[in-house]
Homo-oligomer: A and B are copies of this chain.
Amino acid sequence: MARKKTSPATEASPEVPVQGRDRETLGKLAKLADRVVDAAAKERDPHLDVPSRSLTNAHYNRRKRFIEMGDRTNRRELFNLNQARIYMQTLLAGSGCSRLIRQGKSTSIRGLYYLLKHTIEGTKEETFNDQMESDAVIEDLEVIVGAIREELHLAAENRGAMVGLLQFNDSGDDIDCSRLGSGGYSIPSIVEPNRIQFKKCQAKFILHVEKGTVWQRFNEDKFWRKHQCILTHGGGQPPRGVRRLLYRMHHELNLPVYCLLDNDPWGYYIYSVLKQGSINLAFESQRMAIPEAKYVGLRSFDYDRCDLQSNVTIKLNDQDRKRAIQIAKYPWFADKKPWQAEIKKMLDNGFKLEVESLVSKDISYVSETYVPERLAAKDWLD
């Protein structure tokens, strides 16, 4: 399995003109490299101050109403045996992303790992032993340079779809989301302004549903045309591309976001992440969290209110109970009486309810009765 040569990439994609936000990001990455040179020129030891990504450095900002990172940083020095490796890895990742931007290309975090992985000349040392190492360094890089990974040209697996009264340009193509049939627009991982520019929007709000199968119901019933909206789904926990697109549409098009999720701890959690961000990726919240998002998902009180049958309920398991109790304590739910009542009622019920359970009323009850009624009455959780 040994191979003699350790030649680096033999072919190289040509560079392209860099514009707009890409230019800005490239500048930030260049500064990172300059710091090393500066330090050397001043005969100081090169170092990086990396904002701490530990859980204790993430907190809920009550004014901004999302999770953000604190001010704590960790210093990484080149001439420190314990830190030299990660210092070099960080610069290597920065240089890799800079190359991607200059080539006008993007890749996955797995792709970047392969791009950067090589045996350091004259040693048996690998730049990265596994993808976990490079993934962590990418998260560092995001906070050091103040750019989300999508701006660094790093894409994730894409998931989720969109239809509705929106026209936009994606990479040179004009797309009319009201003319995309039953399939819809496949939401890409990178939805930054250098790719996607909104053109014409006749929608008055966004309905985001949890699952593709429920999305299909709303699309089949042309809900978005009747109610003048945009319809999205994220295939469960929405991937970054979907969250970022919702964020952009909410802010740039001034559209309220309503979330149709299951009445279970997982549905609560999806809502929580869409609204307040996640603790693990606190840095992204400022570019992804939508504190104004509303929950129009199934509620524990709907069992009575919608006159559902006991045979469509699903018994809570221990894990569900544990998660529900944890979620009730999240600072953004803790002081909200309606949320406390909702979660308590679910625990009292002893069961959860899926959006699909409304099919037991009628195939289109959810799209033609449930959601329209909730929206008309402004009957949602916040």
Residue ranges of A at the interface with B (Cβ–Cβ < 8 Å): 1-3, 5-7, 9-13, 100, 103, 105-108, 110-111, 114-115, 117-119, 126, 155-159, 161, 169-175, 179-190, 195-196, 211-213, 216-217, 220-221, 235, 307-313, 349-351, 354, 356-365, 368-369
Bound CA span A215–B213, Å: 23
20 contacts between A and B (CB under 8 A): A1-B351, A3-B310, A5-B307, A9-B362, A12-B362, A105-B217, A105-B220, A106-B216, A110-B354, A111-B359, A114-B312, A114-B356, A117-B312, A119-B309, A155-B213, A159-B212, A172-B181, A174-B179, A175-B181, A186-B187
Highest count of chain B CB atoms <10 Å: which of A11, A188, A363: A363
Of the candidates B180, B189, B311, B360, which one forms a contact with A170 in the assembled complex, judged by CB atoms under 8 Å apart? B180
Least distance between A209 CB and chain B CB atoms (Å):
12
Contact indicator B108/A213 (Cβ below 8 Å): yes
Of the candidates B10, B12, B175, B360, which one forms a contact with A114 in the assembled complex, judged by CB atoms under 8 Å apart? B360
Q: Which residues of B contact A107 (CB under 8 A)?
A: 213, 217, 359, 363
Contact indicator A361/B235 (Cβ below 8 Å): no
Bound CA span A245–B10, Å: 38
Bound CA span A336–B357, Å: 49
Contact indicator A362/B13 (Cβ below 8 Å): yes
Contact indicator B311/A118 (Cβ below 8 Å): yes
Bound CA span A11–B296, Å: 21
Bound CA span A342–B349, Å: 57
Contact indicator B183/A179 (Cβ below 8 Å): no
Q: A190-B182, A212-B158, A365-B11 are in contact. Are A359 and B307 (CB under 8 A)?
A: no
Q: Which residues of B contact A7 (CB under 8 A)?
A: 307
Q: Which residues of B contact A2 (CB under 8 A)?
A: 310
Q: A161-B186, A186-B185, A310-B3 are in contact. Are A13 and B364 (CB under 8 A)?
A: yes
Of all chain B residues, which has the CB nearest A351? B1
Contact indicator B356/A110 (Cβ below 8 Å): yes
Q: Which residues of B contact A1 (CB under 8 A)?
A: 310, 313, 349-351
Of the candidates B179, B196, B363, which one forms a contact with A100 in the assembled complex, judged by CB atoms under 8 Å apart? B363
Least distance between A354 CB and chain B CB atoms (Å):
8
Of the candidates B172, B188, B364, which one forms a contact with A105 in the assembled complex, judged by CB atoms under 8 Å apart? B364
Q: Which residues of B contact A184 (CB under 8 A)?
A: 185-186, 188
Bound CA span A229–B359, Å: 40
Contact indicator A159/B307 (Cβ below 8 Å): no
Q: A183-B188, A195-B182 are in contact. Are A363 and B105 (CB under 8 A)?
A: yes
Contact indicator A363/B117 (Cβ below 8 Å): no
Q: Which residues of B contact A172 (CB under 8 A)?
A: 181
Contact indicator B188/A186 (Cβ below 8 Å): no
Q: A114-B312, A181-B173, A216-B188 are in contact. Are A103 and B363 (CB under 8 A)?
A: yes
Q: Which residues of B contact A356 (CB under 8 A)?
A: 108, 110-111, 114
Of all A-B residue pairs in the complex, the 10 with the closest CB atoms, nearest first, are A170-B181, A108-B213, A186-B186, A161-B186, A114-B359, A183-B188, A11-B362, A173-B181, A173-B179, A171-B181
Bound CA span A182–B197, Å: 12
Q: A2-B310, A173-B180, A181-B171 are in contact. Are A235 and B157 (CB under 8 A)?
A: yes
Bound CA span A326–B7, Å: 36
Bound CA span A363–B170, Å: 22
Of all chain B residues, which has the CB nearest A174? B179
